[in-house]
Amino acid sequence: MNPLVTPSWLSTRLQDQSTIILDATLPPVGVTPPIDTHARYLDKHIPGALFFDIEQLSDHSTPLPHMLPTPEDFSRSMSALGVGHNSTIVVYEQESVFSAPRAWWTLRTFGAQHVHILDGGLRAWIEAGLPTESGPVHHTPANFNATLNPHAVKNLSQIKDKLATHHQVPEQILDARSAARFNGTAPEPRPGISSGHMPGATSVPYTELVDDGRLKPAEKLRELFLAKHVDLDQPITTTCGSGVTAAVIALGLEVAGARDISLYDGSWAEYAQQPDSIIEKTR
């Protein structure tokens, strides 16, 4: 199923009580001063949209960024926000494609069945001449029962197991970071972490999946993955710096027709800090 929906599709459902709209915009990395995406949400958002704060909704018991919370914590957060388990959920972001796929993946991983992404985000909505509003939005508390899909998420131990056998059983690990960080020719944004990549990983910078603020069409995505020798019929794990843009790759894979997709939640922020991790560089 293609999870992307159009502004016109969403506009016909604005008054539908079972449709929940979420602005899931994270501040872009490396921009100084940081952009306050919540303030931008308050200034302008799709009518009725709630703010899905990826950072606030993550696991704060670990120093790793953006990690999945427990199902119990996520259930409480979504229920309080007003997101029901059986709601039709539409996620968008304010600019381009960056963090909305992480919210889409998180909701799906915790069992939400009807999760979509607004193709083109808020910009496409405004360009279509559709209305916006400002100020906070509050919904009546709902009932969200999160159940973790263990197949959708990989941990460090599972990644190490994959890498230990990748010479005998080739593993498909797609890295969404920039080519320079993957190659080890540019530094990581997090201090004290070496750049480079996991043995056998394939560089798929998430920006290559995006064209003019939208995810590329399915056929273009298939061509991109084929050019990188990715077998869409075999299991694929995505990774990045902190587990956010890995979800862009996961979204692109689903649109392209892959079915066995998982995401390494700790990603490079976790892997590269382990003293026994093998880090390869391309000079």
> 247 and 181, same structural domain?
yes
How many domains does the chain fold into? 2
Indicate if 255 and 132 belong to the same structural domain.
no
Let me know whether 13 and 95 are in one domain: yes
64 inside domain: yes
212 and 134 assigned to the same domain: no
We report the CATH number of the domain holding residue 171 as 3.40.250.10
Which is more confidently placed, 1 or 37?
Answer: 37
Domain membership of residue 281 (yes or no) is no
Please tell me whether residues 63 and 157 are part of one structural domain: no
Shared domain for 114 and 182, answered yes or no, is no
If asked whether residues 47 and 142 sit together in one domain, one would say yes
Q: How far apart are CA 20 and CA 116, in angstroms?
A: 10
The reply to whether 240 belongs to the active site is yes
Per-residue model confidence as pLDDT tens digits over 135-180:
999 999 999 999 999 999 999 999 999 898 766 556 899 999 999 9
Contact assessment for residue 78 and residue 144, using Cβ atoms and an 8 Å cutoff: yes
Give the model's pLDDT for residue 32. 81
Whether 202 and 85 map to the same domain: the answer is no
Neighbours of 8 (CB within 10 A): 10
Residue 43 is assigned to a structural domain of this protein:
yes
Determine the pLDDT at residue 28.
82
The answer to whether residues 218 and 158 belong to one domain is yes
Q: Which residue in this structure is represented by tokens 């159940």?
A: 147
| Alpha carbons 199 and 159: distance in angstroms, whole number | 11
**Token pair for 32:** 């100084």
Q: Which one of the listed residues 46, 159, 204, 240 is annotated catalytic? A: 240
Instruction: Measure the CA dihedral 194/198/203/205, to 10°.
Output: -50
In terms of Cα–Cα distance, which of 162, 141, 136, 11 is closest to 77?
141
- Residue 267: pLDDT band (50, 70, 90) is very high
Task: Select from 96, 129, 148 the last residue of a domain.
Answer: 148
What phi and psi values does residue 209 have, to the nearest 5 degrees?
Answer: -90, -5
Say if 172 falls within a structural domain.
Answer: yes
- pLDDT-derived band at 132 (thresholds 50, 70, 90) equals very high
Across 13-134, the runs of DSSP E, i.e. the strands, are: 19-23, 50-51, 88-92, 115-118
Rounded to 5, what percent of the chain is helix, strand, coil?
Answer: 30, 15, 55
| Predicted pLDDT at 30 | 74
Q: Is 283 domain-assigned?
A: no
Q: Give me the domain span that covers residue 195.
A: 151-271
- pLDDT attached to residue 166: 66
Bridge partners, residue 239, by sequence: 175
Note whether residue 280 is domain-resident: no
38 in helix, strand or coil? helix
- Supply the pLDDT for residue 170: 67
What's the N-to-C CA distance of the chain in angstroms? 40
Residue 236 domain-assigned?
yes
Domain boundary residue, one of 102, 122, 148: 148
Residue 278 included in any domain: no
- Pair 174, 110 in one domain: no
Q: Which of 114, 148, 182 is the last residue of a domain?
A: 148
Other CB atoms within a 10 A radius of the CB of residue 220 amount to 15
Strand partners, 89: 20, 115
| Domain co-membership, 33 together with 69 | yes
- Mean predicted confidence (pLDDT) in 205-227: 97
Asked if 105 and 83 sit in the same domain, the reply is yes
